[in-house]
Structure 1
């Protein structure tokens, strides 16, 4: 980690309330290194916690679509900590091992392994992450498959996890930079 983790529990009542909200979101698990990096500024940590908590729990987009997109963001941005955290969640959400292996290896156009929906989600993730602008053709495909709300949810998911991966990599949270991304067991 390029800066020390904020390890001490805050004493200021307002900051303590933020700390407690983040702990409640992670419950029953402890705070994770990402939280401890963000807590250098409790207000920013609070906003981050609220945004990501809503993305994770209030979306109508399928969890499998969300997680495959997050995993591909991790691959595209070379963020092994993000991959390690989300690859098992993708499997738990119903993404097959074959699809996840294709994502890890960059074979995201393989129609023999991926569904048309997965290919479109992954292409959206690539365009949004690497090119920033998403083609009208791809957007039309997504709009034919998803509601406007779900298109927004996919967009905010990809954008938010790009933010997360850039934060993780820039600060080398958990000293994961340069580590190989591997399939979960």
Structure 2
């Protein structure tokens, strides 16, 4: 990593509650390198933990669609660590292996293996990540398919994981930059 990792235990006892909240969300796993990078500023780490915890566990969006969007953000932003963490989660959530292969090879526009819903989610991911502005025609499709809450949740998932990938790549968290993204076993 381009900076050192923060300690896995707070140096200041007043920050113990922050560390405990982050550990609780990660349970049964220990703190991950992303946490240890963020914990240079425990208040930022705490806010990040709250936001990402809500995105991950309080959303009504289909989990497979959400994980596919996260994986595509990782591919588009060359965030190897993000891909490595989320590709297995996508499969576990019900994403098909051939659909994930299409995402990995950035072949989502021409892929015959993707459903119309998956294409729309991935098109939104691409437009939001690379073009910033999302075309109204795509928003109309999403609003016809999802509730307004779910459209917002998709937008926040893509935005949130763009934030994560940019943080991971800029600091080279886990020294993954430049490594090959691979399909999970």
TM over 0.5: yes
Residue of structure 2 in register with 1:183 after alignment: 183
Per-residue deviation at 1:8? 4.4
Q: Structure 2-normalised TM-score?
A: 0.98
C-alpha distance after superposition, 1:23-42 (max 9, x if no partner): 01000000000000000000
The answer to whether structure 1 residue 113 and structure 2 residue 92 are counterparts is: no
Instruction: Provide the C-alpha distance between the structure 1 equivalents of 2:17 and 2:116, rounded to a whole number of angstroms.
Output: 45
Instruction: Provide the C-alpha distance between the structure 2 equivalents of 1:166 and 1:110, rounded to a whole number of angstroms.
Output: 27
Q: How does 1:86-165 map to 2 (within 5 A)?
A: 86-110=86-110, 112-165=112-165
C-alpha distance after superposition, 1:86-124 (max 9, x if no partner): 000000000000000000011102452000000000000
The answer to whether structure 1 residue 73 and structure 2 residue 63 are counterparts is: no
Q: How does 1:29-40 map to 2 (within 5 A)?
A: 29-40=29-40
Q: How does 1:9-20 map to 2 (within 5 A)?
A: 9-20=9-20
Q: Which runs of 5+ in 2 are unaligned?
A: none
Instruction: Provide the C-alpha distance between the structure 1 equivalents of 2:180 and 2:168, rounded to a whole number of angstroms.
Output: 15
Given that 2:8 and 2:31 are in contact with CA atoms closer than 8 Å, whether structure 1 keeps it comes out as: no
Per-residue deviation at 1:135? 0.1
Number of residue pairs matched by the alignment: 185
Given that 2:8 and 2:36 are in contact with CA atoms closer than 8 Å, whether structure 1 keeps it comes out as: no
Residue of structure 2 in register with 1:169 after alignment: 169
Q: Structure 1-normalised TM-score?
A: 0.98
Per-residue deviation at 1:154? 0.1
Report runs of 4+ in structure 1 exceeding 3 Å deviation. none
Instruction: Provide the C-alpha distance between the structure 2 equivalents of 1:88 and 1:8, rounded to a whole number of angstroms.
Output: 26
